Amino acid sequence: MSDSENNRPLTTGEWVLTIIILGLPLIGIIMHFVWAFSEGNIGRRNFCRATLLILAVILGLAMLVGIGMLLLGGVLAGAGAMAG
C-alpha cells in the first residue's frame, strides 16, 4: 500500500466491515493485533491500538479487584474461624 493509501480515511463500508470482523470471537482478537501492528491504514491501526490499550487497562483492573476479593475473603474467613 502506498503512503497516501495508508493515510486516507476509511469509507463507511470499510468501517462496517472492520467492526463486523472485530466482533467475531477469536478472529476479532487476532485481527486487533494484526491491524494494530501492521503498516495498514493509520486510522484503523490507531483504533485497534487504542482498543487493545483499553482492554489491557480493564484486564489489569479486573485482576486487581479479583486479588482484592481473594484477600478480603481470606481475611473474613480467618476472622470467622477465630470467632467460632
Identity of the amino acid at 6: N
Contact between 45 and 38 (Cβ < 8 Å): yes
Domain count, the chain: 1
pLDDT tens profile 15-36: 999 999 999 999 999 999 999 9
Q: Does the global pTM surpass 0.85?
A: no
Coil, strand or helix at 32: helix
> Does 58 score more than 80 pLDDT?
yes
Which of 46, 40, 44 lies closest to 1 in space, CA to CA? Answer: 40
Domain range enclosing 51: 3-83
> Does 79 score more than 70 pLDDT?
yes
Which of 31, 50, 42 lies closest to 1 in space, CA to CA? Answer: 42
Q: What pLDDT was estimated at residue 72?
A: 93
> Does 1 score more than 90 pLDDT?
no
Contacts of 5 by beta carbon, 8 Å cutoff, 6+ apart: 41
Radius of gyration from C-alpha coordinates of the chain: 21
